[in-house]
Every structure is written in structure tokens, then in C-alpha cells.
Amino acid sequence: MRKSKKERQQLLLETIEENPFVTDEQLAAKFGVSVQTIRLDRMELSIPELRERIKDVAERNLENEVKSLPLDEVIGEIIDIELDKRAISIFDVKKEHVFQRNGICRGHHLFAQANSLCVAVIDDELALTVRANVVFIQPVRAGDRVITKAIVRETNKEKNRTYIDVISTVNNEPVFKGEFEMYRTKGEGEQQ
């Protein structure tokens, strides 16, 4: 059953507040209207387009400066980070990221997103991957948005190691999991 414009716009506001990374296409499908209608609703409600919402969330959440690599070397966009604790990034899979014959994303892009997020979350000038145990759960295709979360499980100060669990999802469905062992030059909270 179609909602009135007022009801749809209220639900649109609630949906975007709950998930600022939802696309206009996903919203159009959810509400059974055209993408143009969603864009007009957003304009009336002064809701910025997706790129601006992502940038806004990132600027608000990147209070801690990533030390271990320049942000432009991270695969995907970091949208939230708390050094030595957790980080989240998004990666939009484009045509150039997939195999031509089947449209499936090349695995090294998913690995690179997860690995660079693990490097970025380390509160140190130097962070290197020692070991990674990864599982590709299901295919990712062009047009998918991969949301990757890295959670620091443990830091071993004596061995200068940090252990990080990573999960990547598309539409809240797991597509990639990893356990990363990272080398760092100092233990958590130490000063050089």
C-alpha cells in the first residue's frame, strides 16, 4: 500500500537516520517510488546526497588521526575509527573491480579493504600484517557496497602484536571474514 508523501518523507528521515549509507536506489525500492521521487523528497527535507552524508559522518568520527598510513592509501573510505579499538570503512564495488566474465568482485579488493583497515586502526607509526586467516563467504558484485568492521581483540605488548577480527557485509549479509595478526613498533598505550 502506497504511503502519503508526508508519511513517506517521515519514514525516509527515520531510515536515513538509522542508516546514513543507504542509497537512493535502495530507498526507492523500499518505498516503491522512483529514484527521482526520493531525490525530490531529500531536497525538500534538506537531506544531502549519499556522498555528502558519508563525508559528514567521516568528518565527525575521524577525530583521532590515523598514524600508520595516509588516509588516501586506505582501500575504501573510513567512516568511523577509534584507534586500537575499532574501525569501519565502506567500499563501493565498481565495474573495474570485478571479473568481466562473471561480474564477481576480485578477492584482492575485499582483502585490501580489510587489511588496510587493520593497519589504519593501529595507534602507531608502523603497522604491518604478520598473518591473515581469511574466508570469502559469498560473491560480491558490481554495484554492491561493502561495509567492513575491524575490532581489536587483543594487543600483546611483549611481542608487539595486535590481533584484529574483521567482518565485511553487503546489505547486512556477511561476505568476508578475517583474523589478522599485526606487528606494531610499540604496545598499546606505550610512548616511544
Helix axis angle, 24-31 to 35-44, nearest 10°: 100
Measured CA to CA, the distance from residue 34 to residue 12 in angstroms comes to: 13
What share of the chain in percent tops pLDDT 90? 50
Q: Cβ-count burial of 113 within 10 angstroms (0-12 exposed, 13-18 middle, 19+ buried)?
A: buried
User: How sure is the predictor about 187, in pLDDT bands with cuts at 50, 70 and 90?
Assistant: low
pLDDT at residue number 63? 47
pLDDT in tens, 15-71: 888 877 788 888 999 999 999 999 999 989 888 887 777 666 665 555 446 666 666
Measured CA to CA, the distance from residue 32 to residue 43 in angstroms comes to: 18
pLDDT in tens, 5-16: 899 999 998 988
CB-based contact 140:105 (threshold 8 Å): yes
User: How sure is the predictor about 192, in pLDDT bands with cuts at 50, 70 and 90?
Assistant: very low
CB-based contact 183:166 (threshold 8 Å): no
pLDDT in tens, 87-101: 999 999 999 999 999
pLDDT in tens, 103-145: 999 999 999 999 999 999 998 888 899 999 999 999 999 999 9
CB-based contact 79:60 (threshold 8 Å): no
pLDDT at residue number 64? 46
pLDDT at residue number 60? 56
Amino acid identity at 140: V
pLDDT at residue number 190? 53
> In the chain, helix, strand, coil percent, each to 5?
35, 30, 35
pLDDT at residue number 1? 67
pLDDT at residue number 125? 84
Domains in the chain with CATH codes? 5-47 (1.10.10.10), 64-184 (3.10.129.10)
Phi and psi torsions of 154, nearest 5° = -165, 150
Written as nine digits, the cell of 31 is 518505498
Beta-bridged to residue 176, according to DSSP, are 136, 168
pLDDT at residue number 48? 81
- Residue 172, SS3? coil
Q: Within the chain, what is the greatest distance between any pair of CA atoms?
A: 63
CB atoms within 10 A of CB 94: 12
Beta-bridged to residue 149, according to DSSP, are 88, 167
Written as nine digits, the cell of 112 is 585490501
Beta-bridged to residue 127, according to DSSP, are 184
pLDDT at residue number 74? 78
pLDDT at residue number 175? 98
What share of the chain in percent tops pLDDT 70? 85
pLDDT in tens, 154-172: 998 889 999 999 999 999 9
Measured CA to CA, the distance from residue 77 to residue 113 in angstroms comes to: 9
Check residues 57 and 182 and name the one with the higher pLDDT.
182
